Amino acid sequence: MKCFSGSKLATKSSLRFPPLLFPNKPISSAVTAAARFSSLASRSRWICTYSDASRSSPGSVSLSNRDQYFSTMAGAEEFVKGNVYPNGVAVITLDRPKALNAMNLDMDIKYKQILEEWESDPKVKCVLIEGSSPRAFCAGMDIKGVVAEIQKDRNTPLVPKVFTAEYSLICKISEYRKPYISFMDGITMGFGIGLSGHGHYRVVTERTVLAMPENGIGLFPDVGFSYIAAQTPGGGSVGAYLGMTGKRISTPSDALYVGLGTHYVPSGNLASLKEGLLASTLSEDPHNDVAALLAKYSSNPESEAQLKLLLPQITSCFGADKSVKEIIEELKKHQQSTEASVVEWANDALQGLGKGAPFSLCLTRNYFSRVASGYGKHGNEFTALKGVMTTEYRIALRSSLRNDFAEGVRAVLVDKDQNPKWNPPSLDEVDQKEVEAVFEPLGPGIEELKV
């Protein structure tokens, strides 16, 4: 869900699931984890998940980071800047460039507070979201400080607070009553997709990089991405492919085809688009005004969407009825194709799956299939994003505390050997009952997500 910079993370202290997370399951040693979140977005590569996107200096996270975390929280006013212009255009600027505009808990709260105030303010006609630098819109969620809190108190309420703040903000964005425009320029991963992908207008540039590679560190693609995936071509197959393999989208044509972007505006025209928006006289129907302005500055991508060309292969492999093992077998068949592009795609997809924790892959496959199958069906819980996020909250509280997460952090961030020892180590050893258990309602004493 988030991107992090490569900093060391202390992972020795274990964390056990509160028993009521699995009311019908006995607590076992398999349900432990070390430090909760870390940082994964180095200058040369990005791996997204719940963690810190800052380029912090080497050194393990210690309890002394707690003061630093709450000091960072106090800087939400500095990192999330809101301005209302005379014509009614309101702008939120994420201004934390050294951390690739990663969001922390207090920033989430501030962001949502601003949106709520503007939604009820008749002077505000529309909202624009942007990053302060061309390198990143938002690389994800910064939760390095949460690690220190968990190391101090294994039952810290901070973990559910973080998920609640994040998921409730996503729901607010999805239902926002005024035009919501995102400039997704640069790195837009994890929670960056959460902040933009559920809004009305999603502007991508040639610098936009989109990805959800959480399976690679033992988590799962969250921030409502399963809901977005369900609406992608091939009955949700393309979204499932992106979520399971962690494939990056780095071309405007693919971003538009998938639906993560609604408009392509060359980065050189973004400033003019913003100036035009700030100079506009907005009518009583600002949606029409915004749509007309975006049409004026947007362009058609020069290249055709590669994902569109590969749709038959993607659908044959990642259809909702396919298990992870069936997906792999189908991809192996495509490795024998006479088309070089198909062979390259199959090899890349298998490599992406190979980086994921077996449990995470099975969880993601199960979850995305449920949402894709339920989307659009009257009375189904997954027809609305709120229903998706309620289920996602249960999954997040449980899967983030599995041993796989600690091991993924060790392999990717601490030792950097890129050789995680997953538990279970293979798809054949994944207990489907354990996968099903993460979807169960939370036990007595643990509140469900309120949105």
Banded pLDDT at 287 (limits 50, 70, 90)? very high
Among 26, 33, 144, smallest CA distance to 397 is for: 33
Residue 401's pLDDT is 78
> For residue 413, what pLDDT band results from cuts at 50, 70 and 90?
low
- Choice between 157 and 206, residue whose per-residue pLDDT is larger: 206
Please report the pLDDT score of residue 219 as a whole number: 87
Asked whether the predicted pLDDT for residue 32 surpasses 60, the reply is no
Question: Rounded mean pLDDT of 242-270?
Answer: 98
Q: Which two tokens stand for residue 183?
A: 């400039």
In angstroms, the CA 428 to CA 171 distance is: 36
Token look-up 């058609």 returns: 300
Cα separation, 183 vs 132, whole angstroms: 10
Rounded Cα distance between 445 and 451, Å, is 18
- Reduced to 3 states (helix: H, G, I; strand: E, B; else coil), residue 235 is coil
Query: Rounded to whole angstroms, how far apart are CA atoms 326 and 349?
Result: 13
Instruction: Express each pLDDT in 43-88 by its tens digit.
Output: 333 333 333 343 333 333 333 444 444 444 556 889 999 999 999 9
- Read off the pLDDT of residues 161-183 as tens digits, 9 standing for 90 and up: 988 999 999 999 999 999 999 99
DSSP conformational letter for 269: G
The CA R_g of the chain, rounded to the nearest whole Å, is 21
Would you place residue 11 in the very low, low, confident or very high pLDDT band (cuts 50, 70, 90)? Answer: very low
Residues 6 or more apart from 379 whose CB is under 8 A from it? none
pLDDT digit string (tens) for 327-340? Answer: 999 999 999 999 99
Tokens standing for residue 91: 């702008």
Predicted pLDDT at 243:
98
Of 50 and 189, more confident: 189
First-to-last C-alpha distance (Å) of the chain: 20
Q: Write down the mean pLDDT value for the chain.
A: 85
The total of other beta-carbon atoms located within 10 Å of residue 275's CB is 10
Whether the predicted pLDDT of 152 surpasses 80 = no
Cβ(220)–Cβ(214) under 8 Å?
yes
For residue 433, the number of C-alpha atoms closer than 13 Å in the C-beta half-sphere is 4
Per-residue pLDDT at 419 exceeds 70? yes
Sheet-wide strand order for 136-138 = 136-138, 187-189, 209-211
The 10s digit of each residue's pLDDT in 362-381 is 999 999 999 999 999 999 99
pTM for the full predicted model: 0.86
What would the pLDDT profile of 225-253 be if each residue is shown by its tens digit? 999 999 999 999 999 999 999 999 999 99
Share of the chain above pLDDT 90, in %: 69
Count of C-beta atoms within a 10 Å radius of residue 417: 9
Q: Tokens for 127?
A: 């909202």
pLDDT at residue 202 tops 70 = yes
> Residues 283-287: contacts with CB within 8 Å, 24+ apart?
286/88, 286/125, 286/126, 286/178, 286/179, 287/179, 287/200
Which pLDDT value is given to residue 241? Answer: 98
293 vs 5, more confident: 293
What's the pLDDT score for residue 66? 45
> Over the stretch 301-322, which tens digit does the pLDDT of each residue have?
999 999 999 999 999 999 989 9
